[in-house]
Amino acid sequence: MTKKKSPMENLKNLKLKKSWPPKNNFTPFFILIAIAISLAAMTPYLKTSVQNVNEDVALSELSSNYASSLYSEILIDGNKAIATLSWSKVIESGVEKQKIHTAILPERDSLSDIGLKNPEVTTKIEVKDLTSEKFWQNMIPTLLLIVLFVIIALFLISRMWGMANNAMTFGKSRARLFDSSKDKILFKDVAGAEEEKEELQETVDFLKNPKKYRDLGAKIPRGTLLVGPPGTGKTMLARAVAGESNVPFLSISGSEFVEMFVGVGASRVRDLFTNAKKIAPAIIFIDEIDAIGKKRWPGTGGWHDEREQTLNQILTEMDWFDNETNVIVIGATNRSDVLDKALLRPGRFDRKITVNLPNQSDREKILEVHAKNKKIEKDVDFKALASSTVGFSGADLGNVLNEAAIITARYSEKKITPNRLQQAFERIVMGLQKKSLVMNEQERKITAYHEVWHGLLWKLLPHSDPVHKISITPRGGALGVTWFMPERDAILTSKAKFLDELCVLYGGRASEEIFFWKDMITTWASNDIERATVIARNMVMRYGMYDEIGQENFAWVRGMWNYTGVEWDRPAVSEATQKDIDSKVREILTQQYQRAIKMINENKKLHIKISEDLLEKEEIDREEFDAYFV
């Protein structure tokens, strides 16, 4: 009985072909050198052909010039005389002739018969056969051109062969193969996400003990879809499944399937699944699967055909999995709403696991994981930092600690202190301090009064979050900031909380109107007004919080998929209903603006005191702010 090979042994035996073209030895630099050498070799012959201009003359003129010693040399080639003029003699005689004279000689017994044998003339006369010499003289440039053509042809052929090989590898999978025995990631290495890990533990059991499920007649799930915001650790969870199962992990991005050539993506899918089956049990991880898994539409042509063929091939490959095929496909996306329904039906990606942003307890664990390889002071309170990082993903938390390490190194300090962590946190959330941006005294005063009233309202209103810091130091694109810090992760938001938030947003504009007159209001409240308008419209149109309008969604909703892609269509709203909506939104905003003005007038002295202190200090933290209310 043959012993069944382990997944790791299968992985070692798998020989994946290289997808790179062969190295090209005929480089353009080599071609340039060959051209230069060929031109240099042909130069003497080209020069001769240009300078040696012939003129046919009569034999009598040739003999006369010979007797006058006008020639420096005469070559006799059969019945032809080739005489080279001596330019010194030409200048002396004042005769302008071509450099070479050619004359046809009659039949003769000797040179004396034609007057070319005179002892008193010093012209050199030589008799030779120039036929073979001329042959090679004419052939050498031709041979050099042939050699040059051959070199260029070899270069082009090698390039074309490389392109052909590369084209042949277009259909090869570009998946990265991870050996889980090396750099293994386990569930314990992934901080937080306890519910997600519990759901994925079932997938681990499928891979480790498939027989248990087959004996019961259960079909092993073929696909698992991880859905969640960016940075929540979807890839880490997929690798942890491979690590816990001790199986190979093939990872590829959705965008790597698609090329400009139709059919390439489908070929890569086939190659990927073929390789996975060779090393089964294994995991195929497709990151950003929405790049190829978007809803199909009736249009034809172009890139969409290629994407849809790739999607169809993935669906076909997953349908061909039998109960003996121990390969699990894990996809990851943060856009599950755009995925094709065929991809999500039972038998394909039928297991959907939502990977949420970490809660406070999970954030604390994630911070501790990221802090393992960093030198940090013992008095750093990760629990407090986790409490202040509501809405942060795991990647965001890692970035906070990395930024703190960079700031610490910049100041040549040995360990990360709580102060450096706070600086890193504020830099990421509020932006870098703009020390070069200098406000005049009037702008500083308006900013201080504006920001202080945001903080005062949050403190005075019942449904509010604690004020973390008030600052008039320019950061990022803001001249000042009031920073509120939720004490816990909010799941639901009440109508009362929305109304308090609207009042706070209008507090800055209301303070400008009261303390600096109505004609002195500035553009500083533009973002506050924009946010307030969005909240009020959502309360009326989306959340159904006002009976006058009704429990109906009048907001923009996702429409049908057509040739323009995903459209956003607005429900049919009558003119009268739209008028009621606009009137209600305006009423809500006006009420909260008047509420803010009323509260300012009731707390004017406290407002002025805190604002003047802020002008002096430029920043007021939570402890200092709470001291005003003791």
Interacting residues of 217 by C-beta distance below 8 A, sequence separation 6+ = none
Structure tokens at 422: 């706070």
- CA dist 558 and 491 (Å) reads 24
Residues 538, 501 contacting (CB under 8 angstroms): no
Q: How far is CA 76 from CA 49, 100, 219, in A?
A: 20, 13, 101
Q: Is 77 helix (H, G, I), strand (E, B) or coil?
A: strand
Report which residue type is found at 360: Q
User: What SS3 state is found at 556?
Assistant: coil
User: CB under 8 Å to 227, separation ≥6 — which residues?
Assistant: 332, 333, 334, 336, 352, 353, 354, 355
Distance in angstroms (rounded) separating the CA atoms of residues 303 and 257: 12
Long-range contacts: 375-379, Cβ < 8 Å, 24+? 375/414, 375/415, 375/416, 376/415, 376/416, 377/415, 377/416, 377/417, 377/418, 379/418
Q: Return d(Cα 601, Cα 25) in angstroms, integer.
A: 84
Q: Is residue 112 within 8 Å of 66, Cβ to Cβ?
A: no
Three-state SS at 384: helix
Q: Which one, of 75, 123, 82, 121, lies nearest residue 100 by Cα? A: 82
CA distance 44 to 40: 8
Helical pair 28-51 and 131-168, crossing angle rounded to 10 deg? 160
Q: Residue 398: which residues within 8 A CB-CB, separation 6 or more?
A: 366, 370
- Scanning 170-253, the segments in alpha helix (DSSP H) are 194-208, 210-215, 234-245
Question: Residue 430 and residue 399: Cα distance in Å, rounded?
Answer: 14
Dihedral angle computed from the Cα positions of residues 117, 120, 121 and 124, in that order, rounded to the nearest 10 degrees: 70
- Return the C-alpha torsion angle 244, 245, 248, 252, nearest 10: -70
**What single DSSP character describes residue 415?**
S
Alpha-carbon gap, residue 80 to 84, rounded angstroms: 13
d(CA 583, CA 337): 33
Instruction: Lay out the sheet containing 249-253: strands in order across.
Output: 176-178, 249-253, 282-287, 327-333, 223-227, 351-354
- For 12-75, what is the HEC assignment? HHCCCCCCCCCCCCCCHHHHHHHHHHHHHHHHHHHHHHHHCCEEECCHHHHHHHHHCCCEEEEE
Q: Is 451 a catalytic residue?
A: yes
263: left (phi over 0), alpha (psi -120 to 50) or beta: left
**Residue 312, Cβ neighbours under 10 Å: how many?**
16
* HEC-encoded secondary structure of 144-170: HHHHHHHHHHHHHHHHHHHHHHHHHHH
Residue 169: both structure tokens together: 């590898």
Which one from 196, 288, 426, 451 is the annotated catalytic residue? 451
Partners of residue 339 on adjacent β-strands: 294
Active-site residue list: 451
